[in-house]
Structure 1
Amino acid sequence: MPIPAPYVREAGTGPGVVCIHSNAASSAQWRGLMDLLCGTHRVLAPDSYSAGKSPDWHSAREIALRDEVELIAPVLALPGSPVALVAHSYGAAVALIAALANPGRVRALAVYEPTLFSLVDAQGPPPNGADGIRNAVAAACAALDAGDRDAAAGHFIDFWMGAGSWSATPPQRKPAIAESVANVRRWAHALMTEPTPAEAFAALDIPILYMLGGASPESAHAVARALLPVLPNVRVVEFPGLGHMAPITHPDLINAEIAKFLGEI
């Protein structure tokens, strides 16, 4: 079956930057960064499968991260020269696999808490550092099976943003988020069954900015502990007091760090 074309936001001219959003979001996540960079870079932000204006996943087969990579592969080629990838959460996991699959097309990575939970499980079976997200996914899936999308979104959002975050979400934003979180089983499968071992990422001998939130869940930090030791050219920046969703809740801080990194490579 032919691979469909993703929807892509675009702004600016100059060296190429491709931004990949988190799950339960869309390319709109990166509008602030695009505004910041468009004077010096050509910035492209695709929507992943079933997000924003991109098509739904088209197969009965469970999605894998490589499928997300294949969707955005044409976008990586658009600038005509190697690009920097900027990505968050699920998108950062996609970006890491994309960089391995396209070594000639990616010149740098700026990632905020990639959620490659398979690396945690590879270090040792549960109980382990991925138990928190595993439990949140199980609760969300149980709610979906019971027909309660609102409760499913609550389990997912409260895990990543803290208890009570879903209740505090503006009512007008909830339907779109709840619809997106209906894909939580699919996301979890892709992230927890990704076969790429940690050692493979040692091949990414390119500048990498790896950002962490000091207040993020243990599941995100467990991935960092598995991944950071093998990256040969990585700069780690931790934001005290910020959580996993900082690129959305505190975009100015995160975008400034990304812009600084891109200006130095």
Structure 2
Amino acid sequence: MNAVSLHEDRLVVQRHGEGQVLLCLHASVSSSQQWQALMQRAPKGVALQMADLLGHGDSQEWPVDAPARLATEVAALLRSVDVGDEGVHLIGHSYGGAVAMQLALQRPQLVRSLTLYEPVAFGVLAACEPEDPSWREIQDVARYVDGCLAQGQTIAAAQAFVNYWHGCDLWSVLKLHQRDALAARMKTVSHHFQALFDARWSPQLLSQLQQPVQLICGGRTRAPAARVAALLAQHLPNAQLHTLPEAGHMGPLTHAAEVARMIWGMVPLRQPRAMAA
């Protein structure tokens, strides 16, 4: 496994294997390391590219002069990954799932399929169901995080964010260095919320995403994530929604092996040619 050199707004990308390209995009406050279980179960003939998104892992911080838009993340990705001659299959979790959708809309000719675990395309709530309680719920979470950051309380922001998405008091069992690392990413998380809220995923826009989309949703997830998944399944023209009953929003971490098996069963990989007798 190796990584690209860090240069300007390039991202660090871990690579594994050779063959059909799969680009894996992680959740907020995570990194490319979250895809270890997927990598360990990778079949022959696939090339995983696992990117550290802006402000995460070993990649640089969000550029000061760059807008908080999903397109900013997509631009950095396109400068950093090797698409190959046949395009890529996209795999994304949470924020990474929304980035994958943005990439597919911007460069549809590059994307063969999407397999997404709870993509947090919150703008679909604003566009389709602005009075839904789940839309207000996630706005409240973002406002609390921004309020903490405005007062310099990065630890409080990180604690609220982590506990919300894990659905339990995970913060109390984290080590000090883990808490500090999460707190250091909260300014980037604020960018994520702004980018996700500003991307208004109307039914008309979603209808343009023609690639096969496999959606996975945890049975114990948060209401905003579940509602987004349901709306995407309704409005994307070629989507299927699957449920992992015992998992929550952080299923790719808490149920890593099971999620990895589901993903490998869903990605429409090209079958290798049979060898001549």
TM range (shorter): over 0.9
What is the Cα deviation at residue 127 of structure 1?
5.5
Is the CA contact (8 Å cut-off) linking 2:62 and 2:188 kept in structure 1? no
| Secondary structure in 1 matching 2:73 | helix
Q: Does 2:157 align with 1:137?
A: no
| Cα deviation code 1:15-43 (max 9, x no counterpart) | 11000111101111112212221633111
| Secondary structure in 1 matching 2:49 | strand
Partner amino acid, structure 2, of 1:118: G
Q: How does 1:32-181 map to 2 (within 5 A)?
A: 32-37=37-42, 39-75=44-80, 77-126=82-131, 128-181=133-186
- Classify 1:77/1:264 alpha carbon distance in 2 versus 1 (closer, same or farther; 3 Å): closer
What is the Cα deviation at residue 60 of structure 1?
3.4
Query: Any gaps of 5 or more consecutive residues in structure 1?
Result: none
Segments ≥4 residues shifted beyond 6 Å: none
Deviating more after overlay: 170-179 vs 148-157: 170-179
Deviating more after overlay: 71-80 vs 192-201: 71-80
What is the Cα deviation at residue 196 of structure 1?
4.0
Query: Any gaps of 5 or more consecutive residues in structure 2?
Result: 1-6, 271-277
| Secondary structure in 1 matching 2:109 | coil
| Cα deviation code 1:68-96 (max 9, x no counterpart) | 11111145543232110000000000000
Tell me the matched-pair count: 264
| Secondary structure in 1 matching 2:41 | helix
Task: Give the TM-score taking structure 1 as reference length.
Answer: 0.92
| Secondary structure in 2 matching 1:115 | coil
Deviating more after overlay: 71-80 vs 138-147: 71-80
- Classify 1:212/1:127 alpha carbon distance in 2 versus 1 (closer, same or farther; 3 Å): closer
Partner amino acid, structure 2, of 1:18: L
* In 1: Cα distance, 2:189 partner to 2:83 partner: 30
* In 1: Cα distance, 2:269 partner to 2:47 partner: 16
Is the CA contact (8 Å cut-off) linking 1:212 and 1:244 kept in structure 2? yes
* In 2: Cα distance, 1:195 partner to 1:217 partner: 20
Q: Does 2:181 align with 1:215?
A: no
| Cα deviation code 1:101-141 (max 9, x no counterpart) | 11111101000111111110112434532222221222222
Question: 1:24 maps to what in 2?
Answer: 29
* In 1: Cα distance, 2:203 partner to 2:8 partner: 28
Q: Over aligned residues, Cα RMSD in angstroms?
A: 1.9
* In 1: Cα distance, 2:153 partner to 2:210 partner: 45
Partner amino acid, structure 1, of 2:233: L
